Amino acid sequence: MDFDRRELIRAAFRAREYAYAPYSHFAVGAALLSQSGKIYTGCNIECASYSVTNCAERTALFKAVSEGECNFTAIAVVGARTDRSDDSLITSPCGVCRQALYEFGGAELLVIMAKSEDDFTEMPLGKLLPLGFGPEKVV
């Protein structure tokens, strides 16, 4: 897929700066590329009532959908604890986010899980969520 991965990853790192994660200390940023070429970003937002937490991926997705964008080609995700400089792990979207992304990107959506602009793993959402349950099943 032909687009600037470094730019998308950079946007995810910028979004991560706004992460509100006082409970887990795990800050996540996401940048979602729409079919029209626009980038929507999001961070994780935690609450004292922990289950209310919204992941970075869904923050980006809901921002985009609420502005009329419903088709996406790729998402970059970056995450790390705020109190450690351990960048050995990639952050892969949680199950809930995989399902939400599947709704608007389908199996082809490219998921880029990055440690840095130059060090990342990518795979289609269909590999992270095999046999996904999408809108075509219910209409």
Shortest separation between residue 93's beta carbon and ligand THU, angstroms = 4
The residue from 7, 46, 57, 69 that is catalytic is 57
Of 51, 45, 56, 50, nearest to 21 by C-alpha is 45
First to last CA, the chain: 29
User: Which residues make Cβ contacts (< 8 Å) with residue 96, sequence separation at least 6?
Assistant: 55, 58
For position 57 contacting ligand THU by CB under 6 A, the verdict is: yes
**Contacts of ligand THU in 12-41 (CB under 6 A):** 21, 24, 26, 28
57 among known catalytic residues: yes
Task: Provide the 10 A C-beta neighbour count for residue 56.
Answer: 31
Our CB check for ligand THU shows the closer of 2 and 86 to be 86
Q: Is 94 in the site for ligand THU (CB under 6 A)?
A: yes
Residues involved in catalysis: 57
